[in-house]
Structure 1
Amino acid sequence: MPTYVAPPGWPAEVRPPDAPDWERTAQAWLLDLCPPEFRSYPALRRHLVVLARFAVLHVEACQAAVRRGLSEARADLRDVAMPDVVEAAVQTWLAEDARLSGVRRAVGLVEEALRGRRFVARL
């Protein structure tokens, strides 16, 4: 019986590389990460490595937006919101930054697997 290995950080929604239907689950997950318009581009639906590259760049753009929002939040919001609301906004940016860091790792791993990398189990 074959053993399929997914490394730490691999998305739960995607089957491990070489498992039955793993590429179909990867495609569905990658499309869910991207803007809905990406579903209408035939090149992205037919070429998973290209879709993965688009997804990586999209997630990285989201990370850049979050970091900008975090860096500007206190100055931009202090005149329009109470200090506790500003702090809640900062905490929200921090939580989103942490979430996107995990997503970036996961999408990078899927891209590597689509490019042919295989992972080995470690004890």
Structure 2
Amino acid sequence: MLVAPPGWPAQVRPPDAPDWERTAVNWLLDICPPEYRSYPALRRHVVVLARFAVLHVEACQQSCERGLSQARSELRDVADVDVVEAAVQTWHAESARLLAVRRAAGLVEEALRGRRYVARL
């Protein structure tokens, strides 16, 4: 039975399904900067691509943390309070999105490295 764990990206077929690695590559490239598509090593070595994707998402998470920590002090002189608060809420939303993407990318990387998941009763 093909099993994908909670947090598995909907765009990627479960491990060992037909063409699952192709769907993984496509999804991983979608979550990376567009320039990554031009690197032959990343397209040929899917586990390397997965590692690049995980590190990219983690860097984006760090950027969100920095944005949140600086938003009020950096923006108060250039934007109204309601705009600053909207920016803070945007950072929170992006942080939550990236948390889910990081989990999904980690699961795909583990599966590409050979880990398989079993259904729990």
Give, in whole Å, the separation in 2 of the partners of 1:42 and 1:80.
Answer: 43
Give, in whole Å, the separation in 2 of the partners of 1:94 and 1:42.
Answer: 35
Residue type of the alignment partner of 2:97: R
Q: Percent identity?
A: 81
Q: Displaced runs of 4+ in structure 1, greater than 3 A?
A: none
TM-score (normalised: structure 2): 0.99
Q: CA deviation at 1:117?
A: 0.1
Give, in whole Å, the separation in 1 of the partners of 2:93 and 2:34.
Answer: 24
Q: CA deviation at 1:31?
A: 0.5
Uncovered stretches (5+) of structure 2, i.e. residues with no partner: none
Residue type of the alignment partner of 1:63: Q
Give, in whole Å, the separation in 2 of the partners of 1:40 and 1:73.
Answer: 34
Match in the other structure for 2:41 = 43
Match in the other structure for 2:114 = 116
Residue type of the alignment partner of 1:118: R
Number of residue pairs matched by the alignment: 121
Give, in whole Å, the separation in 2 of the partners of 1:89 and 1:36.
Answer: 25
Match in the other structure for 1:59 = 57
Q: CA RMSD in A?
A: 0.5
- 1:1-123 → structure 2 map (5 Å cutoff): 3-123=1-121
Q: CA deviation at 1:111?
A: 0.1
Uncovered stretches (5+) of structure 1, i.e. residues with no partner: none
TM-score (normalised: structure 1): 0.97
Residue type of the alignment partner of 2:103: R
